[in-house]
Amino acid sequence: MADGTESTNDESKNQTAADGGNSGHRTAVTAALIGAGGAIVAAAIGVAAVLIGPQSGGGGGAVPSAHGPSVSGSPASAATPSAIPKSQTAQYRGTRMLTGSGLDLDHTPPDPSWEDLLYEKRPGRGIMVGPALTSASWSAPKPPSRAQCEEALKTGLPAGHVFGHAAPGTAFCMWTNVDNVAFVRIAQQAGEEGVPVDLIVWGKQPT
pTM: 0.58
The pLDDT of residue 206 is 62
The pLDDT of residue 60 is 38
Among 87-91, 115-119, 191-195, the range scoring the smallest mean pLDDT is: 87-91
Cis preceding linkage at 112, omega within 30? no
Q: Is the pLDDT of residue 63 over 60?
A: no
Q: Quick one: average pLDDT of 167-194?
A: 94
Q: Cα(205)–Cα(13) distance, rounded to whole angstroms?
A: 114
Task: Kindly state the percentage of the chain with pLDDT values over 90.
Answer: 47
The pLDDT of residue 124 is 63
CB burial class (10 A; 0-12, 13-18, 19+) of residue 111? middle
Task: Kindly state the percentage of the chain with pLDDT values over 70.
Answer: 55
pLDDT band for position 207 (cuts 50, 70, 90): low
Among 11-25, 29-43, 67-81, 120-134, the range scoring the smallest mean pLDDT is: 67-81
CB 174 within 8 A of CB 127: no
